[in-house]
Chain A
């Protein structure tokens, strides 16, 4: 075990890999080239179209011990990963690692296949039950959590060699050109899958909507796609990109949003050319609503909105408040509808969005990002992966990527969640290092990282409720009491990889 720079104990090896302990957000750069894959040759007249997943898995040459991937743009409506794993099992293939861009509660169906040894590792974060069972030690399956940018990096560097990528293609032709804009399973951007298409050993497009050649617009081109497999359906349209994206009506949430808007205004970044990202949560959208009002009032024309895109951002684009939307993933159907029609609503890859090891990702150009947290600590470290019970329940998403990239990373969270204080002496799990977090906003006050004395002063001048982080922690604990610390076993069941591939924290088995 070694301690990384945040004081977290990191094993030297995990699941057969040698680990690099996290040191800082900026300096790590391995001295090596991008991963390569073999040349391909498809002669005229050859056929890529296969009848089903069974044939596709056979044609792709999937064998015991290999790694597969899918994208999570269909979110909790995705049927593909479950179908692929079922078929893999029926072919008798074992010891498969999953390196999808994320796993959702719908994939709890994989649990029996993990128990059976079909799936033996998760090279990706998980949302929901699988994570809980891994945390409890009830499921033996090492998990490595990566941010969106970190996953793109891992595929590009070859740290995670994907043998076969199964790409859900809502609109696809028989030669493999595809987009996510149209069809019964339309999900909008295919930003995550673009990386898989470029770097996986074999690329299988899977579609429930085969259209006459060529499928346009082309998000992922035929030159990257080895096979096209047909399935009955890719997902449940009622659950595909069905995140409820509505502004909160909770007065506490609205108060937090109001304070966050005060911070943005006081920071001075709200001028022409402003770039902005928020999530799809109710508070994030309430902040976006406040920002929208401020932009209208100041006649400010922003540069771009990015990230997971909601209908709310689409409205801001259409209103002329942003020049462009950079969309790596659509969060709702209004966003899907817009990306297929508006040329200013651009589909971008996860690499372009957030990979730290390229010549500059979009997150580097962000002025301001609004992020959530399950916990923050007095060093400004943020946890979004584990819940107060210690269970791994959430994936990182773009959290640590955008925090590192944006000039102003604002964490918004209610000061009390359930009965627990949000500000702790040390977070259970570090997802995002405090060095990249600028401001924490709760309904009880605003905390500014000491790196921004000017912002702190300006907020105080505007009579915003600026507090010291320890003062705020004490205030909250006076209401909630001091929670009993969680107890963990020594056994490491998962890793939290920072975007550069170093290990920022580990997930330990919870003592029951």
Chain B
């Protein structure tokens, strides 16, 4: 199921702003990244941590994936962030400056320790490493397969361009190689790829162009800095009607094959194999999230009942 989790839109929410935290349940993004790192001034690190913990404890009717961006593990706040926030049960951690597999492994170990202490299933807390330096780019392949907790790689262009001592432009040519490399690393490991933020919140056309580009490349979603960006990203990721029609035919073919008790599934004379099914399921779940089909695909339909 997790393989198909929609992550078109991961919205950053500053961890030190109660007025914004309280609106998290209301936004239609697929996930939020509550930020304890860059958005929070040094003088408010403690307060933000407690605020986020309280918010998560009261956010009982979870309606989206909740990640927390902690401070880097080699900073003096990273470990405390985990200690305070994990008992309030976020779904995972966005790890900044994930430059090497070792850094991710270290977080993996820490998470296991917390899960043991909190008596949770091992592997419950997931990891979204941020690839945001030249080093991270070169190590992306290793990072993607460090841990089963890693469900996606996130590309962070702001820090990346800083580490390269270059300017980020709206055209994004300077990002192209890095962006592709993160994507390959993620796809090679069979996980999702989340693109960087688009900082100009008033330029919806620019955001649309960039989102169209990353969707074409193969990214599954994007990090966002403002709720106003959600609709544009979702529009770009909305499946086209012919994609939906084909996906529905695929699912129909699976159902028919199962009824007939045959393992081989074909549609219009073409064999339907796993990637086609996977793609159809993703299209339909996206379509459902957009309200384009009435019901999402049940796992049972895809995998059969046990």
- Interface residues in chain A, defined as those with a beta carbon under 8 Å from any beta carbon in chain B: 249, 251-252, 254-255, 258, 443-444, 462-463, 479
Contact = CB atoms under 8 A, between A and B. Distances in A.
A210 to B, nearest CB: 46
8 contacts: A251-B23, A251-B27, A251-B226, A254-B228, A258-B231, A443-B26, A444-B26, A462-B291
Contacts of B23: 251-252, 443
A255 B26 contact: yes
A444 B291 CA distance: 19
Nearest to B291: A463
Given A462-B291, A463-B291, A249 B228 contact: yes
Interface string B213-231: 0000000000000111001
Nearest to A461: B294
B22 interface: yes
Contacts of A251: 23, 27, 226-228
Contacts of A479: 22
Contacts of B226: 251
A255 B227 CA distance: 9
Contact of A252 (B26, B231, B291): B26
**Shortest 7 CB-CB contacts between residues of A and residues of B:** A251-B227, A443-B26, A463-B291, A251-B228, A479-B22, A252-B23, A254-B228
Contacts of A462: 291
B13 to A, nearest CB: 11
Interface of B: 22-23, 26-27, 226-228, 231, 291
B111 to A, nearest CB: 31
Contacts of A249: 228
Contacts of A255: 26-27, 227
A463 B228 CA distance: 20
A417 to B, nearest CB: 12
Nearest to A465: B26
B199 to A, nearest CB: 16
Contacts of A254: 227-228
A266 B110 CA distance: 50
A103 B291 CA distance: 48
Name, among B26, B226, B231, the residue most crowded by chain A CB atoms within 10 Å (CB to CB).
B26
A463 B63 CA distance: 15
A464 to B, nearest CB: 10
A251 B22 CA distance: 13
B55 to A, nearest CB: 11
Contacts of B227: 251, 254-255
A479 B227 CA distance: 21
Given A254-B228, A255-B26, A444-B26, 15 more contacts: A251-B23, A251-B27, A251-B226, A251-B227, A251-B228, A252-B23, A252-B26, A254-B227, A255-B27, A258-B231, A443-B23, A443-B26, A462-B291, A463-B291, A479-B22
Nearest to A462: B291
B33 to A, nearest CB: 16
Nearest to B227: A251
Contacts of B228: 249, 251, 254
B264 to A, nearest CB: 37
Contacts of B231: 258
Contacts of A463: 291
A462 B226 CA distance: 25
A262 to B, nearest CB: 10
Nearest to A480: B22
B263 to A, nearest CB: 36
Nearest to B28: A255
Nearest to B231: A258
A143 to B, nearest CB: 35
A249 B231 CA distance: 14
A255 B22 CA distance: 14
A479 B59 CA distance: 11
Nearest to B22: A479
A254 B229 CA distance: 11
A260 to B, nearest CB: 15
Contacts of B22: 479
